[in-house]
Each structure stands twice: as structure tokens, then as C-alpha cells.
Amino acid sequence: MDLIDSLNEAQRNAVLATEGPLLILAGAGSGKTRVITHRIAYLIKEKGVSPYNILAITFTNKAAREMRERVEALLGGEARDIWIMTFHAACVRILRRDIEHIGYSRSFVIYDASDQLTLLKNCIKELDLNEKLYDPKAMLSAISKAKDKMIGPDEYAKAYGEDFRNKKIGDIYRLYQDKLKKNNALDFDDIILKTIELFKSNPEVLDYYQRRFKYIMVDEYQDTNAAQYQLIKLLSSYHQNLCVVGDDDQSIYGWRGADIRNILDFEKDFKNTKVIKLEQNYRSTKQILEAANEVVANNKGRKAKKLWTANDDGTPITVYTAADEHDEAEYAIMRILEGVAQGKSFGDYAILYRTNAQSRVFEDVLNREGIPYKMVGGLRFYDRKEIKDIIAYLRVLQNPLDDISLRRIVNVPRRGIGEGTLSKLDESAAKRGISLYDAMMECDDILPGRTARTIGKFVEMMSELMAVKEVATVTQLINEVLDRTGYIKELEKDDSEENQSRIQNLQEFLTVAQEFENKSEDKSLQAFLENISLVTDVDNLDENEDAVILMTLHGAKGLEFDNVFLVGMEEGVFPLSRAMLDEAQLEEERRLCYVGITRARKKLYITHALQRNIYGSVNYNPVSRFVEEIPEHLIEHEGYEAGGVSRSERKYIAATAEPRRTGTLFTQDQGDFGVPLTHRHKRDRSAVKFTEGQKVQHAKWGIGTVVEASDSEVVVVFDSVGSKRLAVDFAPLKVIE
């Protein structure tokens, strides 16, 4: 029984309790992934369960991949048949087989947020409503909220129909849903909802999956919404072997419809539930864990638990008070360089922030210092304009009913098909109840000859590409699209830096397609497009790469790092100002903070700035209440005005600060601040001397030659990026010759 020998008692009980409903309350770092993987392996190896009968739901594709790898390691290669995937991936797989039962075609496409918004704007226009009064973004979030709670257009009208505005919102909702169907498209919420609809209207389909999935496990259960709950309930009701794992203290997706009651009420909803708590933390030091416990203890309405650890005491948490956001970034990066000089790797560090906008300053400094970093989130690769354009082409080829994508690319690159022509076509399509593409195929009688010929040429090109699609691989098809549409030629016309980077991105896209073909079993265009829709940035994060990681706190869920920086810890930034008014939202922010603290294994840095620019205007934010909730004996202060100082004094200090010098890192004299500094931006590396002609190795830019050297600066010509001026004291440079 080596499978369970390595586990502690609670973990072992969780693995052995295979039958019936099981709720595992797993604190941060308590080895829950370990429990799930061992449980799966135990079911297969010891209980003789077929891999085919197991369904494991994870929160991200990355978690799914890792879980599969770990199960395979325990089992020795029998993990292929297990369904280990996200809710969305599982549902898409189910829908792909049987969606025709509910009136969609199997070549359906998945709309992302921006497609949704375009579609919604069309709806508002069609209903003659004012976008000012019915803000598309607000409408979309209202619809999404309704969908998360499984309220369809009819129920919405019934529930909110009294009020005039809500009645209109209901109309928008209904039209939006109709249009999705006309376009043969699903939005993200639909992926779950339509699966439930399929199950409810086709009992034989449900029956098949109910019988098949004898054992179901759901990870990150605290972040499931009502629809996902319903889905799980349906799937598990036959065998009743449902195991959910979660931590109410880590519920951070309430805004996305996650319902914390799913976990709090699990015992009520499933009779004879066994509850197991995992309370030993294996990840963090005692000091970090205590800080986390103390912060989250300020929340009400949580399940009682007390995380403990047998790990070392560790070092205190460093709280750094920065003059402003630039100083904050420079401090963090100085500490990273210092650590690296002592033998740590860049990959041991993560910088976590509340909003993506905060990443910029850190990127600037990292770039300037030539430190390798990887940023997760922000503008996704697939959200870039040129990539979205090509995807839109592919979508139309896959699903010609997709008017939204068709409209996006019909005049990209320019073909002289303008707004006037398109609205005529729209009108004709609406009148005849056909798609835009079909209207284009028969447009001779509504358009003047010249325009009709232009449209005809476009339709001809598209139908040729559709023929190519039937015989070519995805990569070949993309190449054909880039070539025949003249997309690349258009970019080559003017070789601005922007266009060059677009071409590079398109090449990267081809690489992605090639990789997909190499790895994936199903190599169809449909599968490729699905893959793109469901994969996120975090999924592609490679932790073995030696680079500093930048991401939002949400993105960091489920990850861990030796050294973590929690930055921007100020009232109004974290917690966000809009969350400060509402108790429930504030508690969610606090849980997010708990998640952040518990990502750190060894060392936690917390930073906040006295002064910060937010949309062009200066803000003076007091330190975050969450920092004040950490007991003082766990903290070591650094930076400006380490002691307590009133808010107005802070404002004075920040306002009278010398303007920052741009230029080299950490060399400016910041002494005249009215208060003694407890920390100076200087690192002792003066022993290193560079001379002209030396070969040096840089952490990010590789090998280069020193062409100019002084006591404080060197100019190095790198083989890869050309010449750079660097600060001797801080650049990650090694002499190699």
C-alpha cells in the first residue's frame, strides 16, 4: 500500500473514503492535489476501477495537465482514459457529440468577451435602445450573472419584468440569445448551460454520462457557480460518488458568479456527506502562515479551521514603504538582483498585484535591467488584433453562419467593402432570414454591379479556402489564409516596427498551430479553435523557465513560489476602492490577500507607496488594512518613514519629495526626505570590475562584448539585442572570458 503510506492521517482518510459524497476542506498548501491524485490512483490500482469511469474537474487546463502527469507517475501510464479537465473543456467535449439534439450544429464556435460585446451592441441597436442608457458592458454582465444563476430569458422576464428598464434588459437578453443561436455560437456561460439543457431534454444522453462517471472529483469547489453545481449534481446522482475539494477562505471568484454557499452547504445538499479537513500546511514558514491566518480571521461566516505547519519559523515579513510606484518597483527588483547574486534564481521570485495595470512599472524596470521575466495575463496573445483577425477567418471557414467574425474580416485587408454595402447586406439577410454570408452569395439584385463584383470576388476566395480546409492541415490552411487574403502583403507594405511585430506574432501563431498538430489527437480545425478559446495564459506558464513571474493575485491561485512580492498594498488599490464599501466584497478582497500571502514558501515582501499615479492623477493612499491586520511581531519595516505617521504627514512627505531621476537604478540621493531612511538602494558589488573587450554573459540578453567601461557603468554590445548601457552594480552580468 505504498500509495497511502506517504500521506498523513487526514489525507489518507480522504483517499480511502471512495464511496458516497465527500467534502474535503483543504487549507492552503495542505496537499490537496496530492490527495486527489492519490485518490485516483488508489481507485484504479486498489479498487480496480476503470480509468474510463473517472471524471476529475480542475480549475485550469494547467492544473489538469499537471494532475494527469502526477497520476501517470503514480500509475505508470494508464491515465489516458480518465477525464481530467476543466468544466468548460468537459462540456465542450460533451456538446461536440450531441449538441444537435438542442438545435445547434456541431461546427459551433465559441465567442469570447469581445465577440459577445459586438453581438450585444447589435442587439441594442436592433431594439432601438440608447447605448448610454443601456450600457453594453453592464448589459453583458447582467446577462452573465443571470446565466451563472441559471436564469434564462423567460425566467428573467418573469422575475424582473415589472420594472420598465429590466423588461428591456430581458428583451436584450432574449435577442442576444437568439442571435447566438443564429450564428451557431456559444458564449462562455452557454458552454455549461447548454450542457445542462442537453441533459435535461435528452435523458438518454444524461444517462450515458451518469452511468459512465462512477467517481467524480471537483477541485477548487469554492469557485463553482450555480450552473456548475447543477451540472455536477446531475452527473453524480446515479452513482453518488462525488468528492469535492475546496477552501472557503480561497473563494475569490464571487464576481464571476461563484457561490460560496456551494461549499458551505454541501453537507445539506448531499445526504450522508463525510467531511475531512486538511489542516497541516506543508508549504510556508510559520511566520508566513501565522500572518495569513491572522488576516483571514477577520472574515465572518467561514468554516472554522486552524492551519498549522511543522516547517521552520522562517524570517519576518518585510514591509517596504515606497515613495511612489517607481520606487516600489525598483525596490522589488533590487531585492531580486540581490537574491540572485546570492545564488537564487529569477524563477524563485513572483510579483503579485491586484490589477493588471500595475504591471507596467515593473516591466519597465525589468526591461531596463535586462532581467528575464514572464508576465501572465494582461493582453492575451490571442487577443492581439492580427491574431483575432486570422482566427475570425478560420471561424468563418469553420462556421459560415458566424456573422460577427465575418463582419470583422470582410474588409480586412481593405477590399472596398464599406459600411454602406454591409448595412444593405444586413438588411437583406434579416428580411430573408439568412446569414450574412448567404446574403453575400446572392447580392446581385440589391447592390450596384461594381460592388456586387467585389463581393463576388470575396465570396469566391472564401469558398476556395473552404475547399482548402477540407484537405489541408490547420497550419497549411493558416498559411493559405495569410497568403490569399493578402493579409501579410498588407503588413509588408509599410515596414513600421508595429507591422514587423505583427508579422512576428503571426509566425508565432503558426508555431502554435504546428505544436497543436504535433501534440493533439484530434487535428481538426474545430479542435484547434476550441483549444484557442479555452486555453489561457496561465495554462502556458512554464515554471522551469528561469524568469521572474508577474501576475495578478487571481492568476496566482494554485501556484507557489519561494519568494513573493505583494505589491500595491494600499487602501483603494488593494482592497479596491469600490470593494471597500461593501462588506461581502471586502471579505472577498481579504480572501484574495490570504491567497497571496499563502503563495510564499520562504519569504514574503509586502510593498506600498506613499504616492501613486492613477489615471494620470496623483493619489495618496494609506497602507492597506490587510497589512495592519498582520501582527507587528511578524513584520520588519523598510523604506520611507518606517514608523507610524499620520496620513496628512505622509502627504506632505510625498509631496515634497525630490523629483525622481530617470536613468540608472538606485544611484540617486534620496536622503533629503525629512525622515531617516532605514533602507538604501545600494548593493555591494563594487568588487566586480569590467574592462573593454571582455566577453560577458547577461541573464536575459546572453553573450556580449564590453565596449566601454567606467566605475559605475558599462556599455555592452550583445549578440542578440545590440548595445546596452548598464549599471555595474546591478546588471546581472558575469564575466566569461
Least CB distance from residue 501 to DNA, whole Å? 14
Q: Site mask, DNA, residues 1-30, x = CB under 7 A?
A: ------------------------------
Measuring CA to CA, how many Å separate 115 from each of 106, 487, 533? 19, 21, 12
Which of 322, 269, 256, 197 has the alpha carbon at shortest distance from 609? 322
Q: Which of 27, 568, 601, 562 is nearest to 288 (CA)?
A: 601
Cα separation, 424 vs 443, in Å, equals 9
- Decide: residue 678, CB within 10 A, 0-12 exposed, 13-18 middle, 19+ buried: middle
Residue 123 has which C-alpha cell?
442587439
Would you list the DSSP string of 400-417? TT-HHHHHHHTTSS--S-
Provide the minimum distance between the beta carbon of 423 and DNA in the complex, in angstroms, as a whole number.
9
| Cα 572 to Cα 579: distance, rounded to the nearest angstrom | 8
Residues 206 and 199: beta-carbon distance below 8 Å:
yes
Q: Judged by CB, which is closer to DNA: 519, or 578? A: 578
Gap between the Cα atoms of 321 and 327, Å rounded: 9
CB of residue 356 vs DNA: minimum separation in angstroms?
3
| Binding of residue 505 to DNA (CB under 7 A) | no
Q: Considering the rule CB under 7 A, would residue 59 count as an interface residue with DNA?
A: yes
Binding flag, residue 255, DNA (CB under 7 A): yes
Q: Does 578 bind DNA (CB under 7 A)?
A: yes
Catalytic residue among 115, 171, 190, 219: 219
For DNA, the binding residue among 534, 642, 677, 709 (CB under 7 A) is 534
Interface pick for DNA out of 76, 343, 449, 616 (rule CB under 7 A): 616
The answer to whether 301 contacts DNA (rule: CB under 7 A) is no
Q: Residue 576 interacts with DNA (CB under 7 A)?
A: yes
Q: Quick check: 448 binds DNA (CB under 7 A)? A: no
What letter does residue 162 receive in the DSSP assignment?
T
Is 219 among the catalytic positions?
yes
Strand (E) or helix (H) holding 320: strand 317-322
**388, 591, 599, 602: which is the annotated catalytic residue?**
599
* Count of residues interacting with DNA (CB under 7 A): 44
Which one, 258 or 547, has the nearer CB to DNA? 258
User: What's the N-to-C CA distance of the chain in angstroms?
Assistant: 55
Say whether 89 counts as a known binding-site residue.
no
CB atoms closer than 10 angstroms to residue 135 = 13
Rounded CA-CA distance 286/275 in Å is 26
Catalytic residue, candidates 148, 187, 197, 220: 220
Rule CB under 7 A: say whether 663 interacts with DNA. no
Indicate whether 86 belongs to the interface with DNA (CB under 7 A): yes
Residue 603: strand, helix, or coil: strand
Q: Would you say 37 is a known binding-site residue?
A: no
Residue 185 marked ligand-binding: no
Examine residue 416 and tell whether it contacts DNA (CB under 7 A): yes
Residue 31 labelled as part of a binding site = yes
Q: By CB neighbour count within 10 A (0-12 exposed, 13-18 middle, 19+ buried), where does 312 fall?
A: exposed
Q: Pick the binder of DNA from 101, 179, 256, 685 (CB under 7 A).
A: 256
Task: Pick the closer one to DNA by CB: 241 or 250.
Answer: 250
Residue 499 as a binder of DNA (CB under 7 A): the answer is no
Shortest Å distance, C-beta 550 to DNA: 11
Nearer to DNA, 580 or 635 (CB): 580
Task: Indicate the residue among 414 and 519 with the shorter CB distance to DNA.
Answer: 414
Quick check: 589 and 576 in contact, CB under 8 A? yes
Instruction: Look at the block and give the residue holding cell 488508489.
Output: 42
611 lies in the site for DNA, by CB under 7 A: no
Q: What cell does 286 get?
A: 510559520
CA dihedral of 308, 311, 317, 318, whole degrees rounded to 10? -160
- Of 86 and 398, nearer to DNA (C-beta) is 86
> Is the Cβ–Cβ distance between 293 and 629 less than 8 Å?
no
Task: Tell me if residue 250 is catalytic.
Answer: yes
Give 602's Cβ-side CA count (13 Å radius): 8
Q: Report the nearest approach of DNA to the CB of residue 127 (Å).
A: 17
The helix/strand/coil state of 56 is strand
| Grid cell of 608 as nine digits | 506600498
Q: Which residues contact 88 (CB under 8 A, 6 or more apart)?
A: 188, 191, 192, 534
Q: According to CB under 7 A, which one of 53, 60, 241, 285 is a site residue for DNA? A: 60
Stretch that binds DNA, among 20-28, 250-258, 264-272, 502-510 (CB under 7 A): 250-258
> Is 200 marked active-site?
no
388 binds DNA (CB under 7 A): no
- Nearest distance in Å: CB 126, DNA: 16
Q: Is 538 in the site for DNA (CB under 7 A)?
A: yes
Active site residue 220: yes
33 assigned to active site: yes
Catalytic-role residue among 60, 116, 224, 250: 250
Does position 69 interact with DNA (CB under 7 A)? The reply is: no
**Residue of 366, 293, 315, 343 lying closest to 601 (CA atoms):** 315
Q: Is residue 420 a contact residue for DNA (CB under 7 A)?
A: yes
CA 711 to each of CA 82, 669, 696, 698, 727: distance values in angstroms, whole numbers, following the listed order:
61, 18, 16, 18, 9
In DSSP terms, 2 is beta-bridged to: none
Binding site, residues? 26-33
Binding site for ATP, residues? 26-33
- The residues that are catalytic are 32-33, 219-220, 250, 599
Q: Rule CB under 7 A: which residues touch DNA? A: 59-61, 86-88, 113, 131, 135, 137, 188, 252, 255-256, 354-357, 377, 411, 414-421, 451, 534, 536-538, 551-552, 554-555, 576, 578-579, 585, 613, 615-616
